[in-house]
Amino acid sequence: MVILIISFLFSLLAVQFILRIRVYFATTARYINDHRGFFLSSKPLGFENRSGFYTNYRFPKAFDAWSTQLLSTYVISLTGSLLLGFGVGLLMYYLGSGDAHAIGWGAGFWILASVLTIWISIHYLKSKKDRDTDQDVFGLNKP
């Protein structure tokens, strides 16, 4: 049961890593889109960008509910929280709670940890307001 709870903590690290990758990806893609927009604005060699390929420096946003990184965050949050719930359920059973109480405690911790992890992840990404790279990616404020 201790291994299950420690595995949940590692899943939190994985979620945090994925969220930081998402912020870095969004910041870098906006930078590339800015350059692409500048280059294509002069219609080099008559190229007009009729396909509308990404030239808007405001996109992608850090928070995109259906991005691959967020879907991975959802899955890791749910499975990691399931490990926590299972570990808590086993612990409660070991401490003498009945079957129904142990299942209830485990399910409660699973739901609570899942909702809390996903909510914190979404809040973190929505807090990234497309500031400069130092602020969004590293959390640093320039003097």
Q: What is the pLDDT along the chain (143 residues), one digit of tens a residue?
A: 789 989 999 999 999 999 999 999 998 888 898 888 888 888 887 877 777 777 788 888 889 999 999 999 999 999 999 999 999 999 999 999 899 999 999 999 999 999 999 999 999 999 887 666 666 666 666 65
Return the beta strands (E) in the chain as ranges.
none
Please give the DSSP secondary-structure letter assigned to residue 67.
S
Q: How many C-alpha atoms does 78 have within 13 Å on its Cβ side?
A: 6
Percent helix / strand / coil, the chain, rounded to 5: 75, 0, 25
